[in-house]
Each structure stands twice: as C-alpha cells, then as structure tokens.
Amino acid sequence: MIYVGVTGWGDHDSLYTGLTNKRDRLKEYSGHFPIVELDASFYAVQPKRNVEKWLKETPESFQFIVKAYQGMTGHQRGEIPFETVKDMFEAFIDSVRPIHESGKLAMVLFQFPPWFDCKKENVDYIRYCKSMMGDMPCAIEFRHQSWYRPEFRERTLAFIRDENWIHSICDEPQAGEGSVPTVLEAVNPERTLIRLHGRNFHGWNKPNGDNWREVRYLYRYNKEELLEWKNNIGVLKNQTKDLYVLFNNNSGGDAADNAKQFIELMDIEYQGLASRQLDIFD
C-alpha cells in the first residue's frame, strides 16, 4: 500500500479555504490524506489530552508518523527538561502509547541533526534509542552525508536492517555534509518512509535567522520530478509492503498541492477518509 500525506496539518491553507475554525483542521485534513506527520511531538512531549483529541478527530484507518522529541535526537541545545534521559524517553513513550494502542501509529520518526555523523558513539546511541522504544515501529533519518559515503553506505543499511529500523529515504538538495543522497533501499520488508524536502539548493544551507525554514523548504516539485518519484516508488514497492510518502516542501504552501498531484499521478483512490466539511460547496 502507498500512503501519501504531508508534514503537519496546520499550515496547508489550500486545504481549508472557507473553514473558519482552525480547531477543525485535522478533521478536514483527514478527508484529504490517510497519513500525517505529527510535528508537535518534536517540540514538546504532548499531553495525553491532545493525543486523545487527535485520535477522536481522525478516521479508524488514519495513521500518524510521530516525530521523536528533539531532546531524544540531539537537536535540543543545553539541558533537557527531565531528570534523566531515561525519564525523557519514558515520558515520550507514555505520550505516544495511546496512538500505538489505537492502531494509528505508523511509526516514530527519529530524524537526527546535521551534526550527528557516522561514528561509534552515535551508532551506540541509536541502539539505545531502539532499545528504549520497545515494540513501537521506528524510522531513522540521517542528515549528515557521512552515513552514506561509499565506505559506510552498505554497513549503514545493514545496521538499519539488523536493528529493525525503518529506512527514511530523502529527496533533498545535495548541498554538502548537511544533506544526504536519495538511497533507494527499502531495508525493512514491512514499511519504508519517504520524505520529500524539496530541492532548494541555494536555501538549504543558508539559514536566515528565525526565518530559515521559510527559505529551506521553499520549493514546488514539477510534474517531471513527481514522475521521477513515481518510477522510484515502482522500484521500492517490490522491496517493502507499505510505503509512506510525506511532502515537507511547505515553505510556500506547496506540499499539499504536490501531494494531491502525486496521488493523481499514482492513480490512487483512498477509502475510509473522513467526510469533508467543505464537500457541499464543491
């Protein structure tokens, strides 16, 4: 099965024309796509009341890709707001458990930062993360090129396979050490994650203060590039049962439109989506 969605549900204005209450955005979103990346969990461990609300607002077949808390992936600078690392993991797991138990957890995504390079201590830490997460399915995404250099590439893929991680395959600009190549290897026979970050080469490594994300992910995929990914999916679907495709190119509001276009190019028609509040105006 091929599942297509976007990262977060709050910023995709093209989905919500005429929707007056922002609190209804997830309900409306789940009428368009069968999956979403939950980003709020990256910035803070979410209270259970939020999680329970999101579960109630989505159809039975809807799935969440939950981004691991930033303290768990090394993004957070300084001290973590927990007594110990173990406490941090346990709080996160406790927060995500209702999603897992509901059957709506596609995976937890550990996206490691650009400075998390291929070395022994980081390999050991990845093992620690996986051991803490127990039976929850977990995906891994690298942002440092060293993991896929010729001398490490096959060992990295074997490590992901042996440790039972889900491989996160990226589409992003090839702009130095802080970017990774597109490695079309599913690795996990059950699930594979694809994250399309756009191809804004000039904006990738040029953070502009607080607005750097508005530059980095400012990109709209054209039809030829989406057809390229259609072909890539054709390769990957022979390696893995389920493919999760997320568009993260939303600085200019392009992600939702590209995702819709991709679903059409793939000739996919999803069943079990939520009824859309705005259908009566179509």
Q: What is the CA radius of gyration of the chain?
A: 18
Residue-level pLDDT at 32? 96
- Of the candidates 142, 146, 190, the residue with the CA atom closest to the CA atom of residue 166: 190
Answer yes or no: are the C-beta atoms of 31 and 63 closer than 8 Å: no
**pLDDT score at 26:** 96
Report residues of the chain scoring pLDDT below 50: 280-282
**CA proximity to 12, closest of 253, 265, 282:** 253
- pLDDT tens for 94-136 read 999 999 999 999 999 999 999 999 999 999 999 999 999 999 9
CB contact at 8 A, 88 and 128 = no
DSSP character string of the chain = -EEEEEE-SSS-GGG-TT---GGGHHHHHTTT-SEEEE-HHHHSPPPHHHHHHHHHHS-TT-EEEEEPPHHHHT-S-S--SSSSHHHHHHHHHHHHHHHHHHT-EEEEEEE--TT--SSHHHHHHHHHHHHHHTTS-EEEE--SGGGGSTTTHHHHHHHHHHTTPEEEEEE----STT---------SSSEEEEEE----HHHHT---GGGHHHHHT-----HHHHHHHHHHHHHHTTT-SEEEEEE--TTTT-HHHHHHHHHHHTT---SSPPPPTTGGG-
Q: What pLDDT score was predicted for residue 78?
A: 74
Q: How many CB atoms lie within 10 A of CB 19?
A: 16
Cα–Cα distance for residue pair 272/92, rounded to 1 Å: 29
Alpha-carbon distance values, 171 to 96, 116, 122, 195, 209 (Å): 27, 19, 23, 6, 24
**CA triplet 60, 110, 249: central angle to 5 degrees?**
75
Q: Report residue 182 as tokens.
A: 């597109």
Domains of the chain: 2-281 (3.20.20.410)
Per DSSP bridges, beta strands 63-67 and 105-111 are parallel
In whole angstroms, give the CA distance from residue 95 to residue 92: 5
pLDDT of residue 17: 84
Residue 224 confidence (pLDDT) = 98
pLDDT at 207: 58
